[in-house]
Amino acid sequence: MFERWNRNREPIGRALGFGIFGFFFLRQLAPGEWGGQFPESGEPLAIIRWLLISTLFFLFLLAYLLRRPAVSLANRPGEILLPLVAAPLPLVIVILGEYHAREPVVREFLHRLPVVSSLLDPWWIPRGSGYPGFGMMALGEGVTLAGMFWLGGSFSLLAEARLLVIRGPYRFVRHPLYAGELLSSWGYFLAVPSALSFGGAFLFTVLQGFRARLEEAKLEAFFPEYRHYRQRTGFLWPRILSRETRD
């Protein structure tokens, strides 16, 4: 049974990834309340963000369709469970926030619970203009899109080793996807300040840090050149001086 599972993990993973990201890509294009909601207001920033997110989901979809064979699949609990918890967390926070704002009955019920009310609409966080936050989200989505464009078929949701990519933005940082996603998460907190969005961004930052370390350990084990690459590039932002230069 386990041999059959290991033998079929690649096609099963490809089918699941294709189905998940296919759903979100189609959701971006779908009209109505639960669709991607193309911004009818005509605001340039909103249109740019819609285009970035739609293109990003399309690249995720394409990556699973054209995925390269794995050198090493995820085989430890942390390599499987941690990405499955961390990856959808920002989307879950956004959906919870939107659902809370959209459903008056749910909103009224939740605000009767003191702890939940303070999480969703805290009095102790000042509210300002959302444009800086949404601009930060657009910047993060653009960085993620650039990283995903260069990663292509080497992308995997789980901690797996496929092809070592050191071109494009990967010449300067080891995790441009994570850098962009973290920018977007903290931008969402600035745009929609609440303890829920702050807690989500903070937890996402911590989990992504652990996730990146797991991936780096796996890549270093299967690609000897990764150690040198790691020494000369930054983790989430470019390194001004490499370790070799400083030494």
What was the pLDDT predicted at 123?
45
* pLDDT per position as a tens digit, 48-105: 999 999 999 999 999 998 888 889 988 889 999 999 999 999 988 887 776 655 555 5
Identify the domain containing residue 222 by its residue range. 68-246
Is 15 a domain residue? no
Q: What is the C-alpha separation between 187 and 137, in angstroms, rounded?
A: 5
In a domain, 54, yes or no: no
Residue 14 has pLDDT above 70, yes or no: yes
3-state secondary structure (DSSP) of residue 174? coil
Q: How many domains does the chain have?
A: 1
pLDDT, tens digit (0-9, with 9 covering 90-100), for 127-178: 555 688 899 999 999 999 999 999 999 999 999 999 999 999 999 999 999 9
In a domain, 207, yes or no: yes
Does residue 170 lie in a domain region? yes
Report if residue 51 sits inside a domain. Answer: no
3-state helix, strand, coil split of the chain in percent (to 5) is 70, 0, 30
Predicted local confidence at residue 176, as pLDDT: 97
How many other CB atoms are found less than 10 A from the CB of residue 240? 8
Residues written for the chain: 247
CATH code at 237?
1.20.120.1630
Nearest to 171 by CA among 234, 246, 219, 223: 234
CA 173 vs CA 37, 106, 140, 223: distances in Å: 33, 43, 14, 17
Q: Please write the tens of the pLDDT for every residue from 186-211.
A: 999 888 887 788 889 999 999 999 99
CA distance to 11, 16, 22, 64, per residue, from 19 (Å): 12, 5, 5, 9
Q: Which residues pair with 173 in a beta bridge?
A: 234
Task: Work out the angle at residue 18's Cα, subtended by the Cα atoms of residues 197 and 93, and round it to the nearest 5 degrees.
Answer: 10
Cα distances (angstroms) measured from residue 143 to each of 58, 146, 185: 15, 5, 13
Q: Are residues 175 and 83 in contact, defined by beta-carbon separation less than 8 angstroms?
A: no
Note the Cα 79 to chain centre separation in Å: 16
Mean pLDDT along residues 17-36: 82
For residue 145, being part of any structural domain is answered with yes
Which one is predicted more confidently, 41 or 188? 188
Contacts of 204 (CB under 8 A, 6+ apart): 86, 89, 90, 181, 182, 185
Beta bridge pairs of residue 72: 161
Does pTM surpass 0.95?
no
Taking residues 25-31, what's their average pLDDT?
86
Beta carbons within 8 Å of 140's beta carbon, 6+ residues apart: 179, 180, 181, 182, 183, 184, 185, 187
Whether residue 184 is contained in a domain is answered as yes
In a domain, 61, yes or no: no
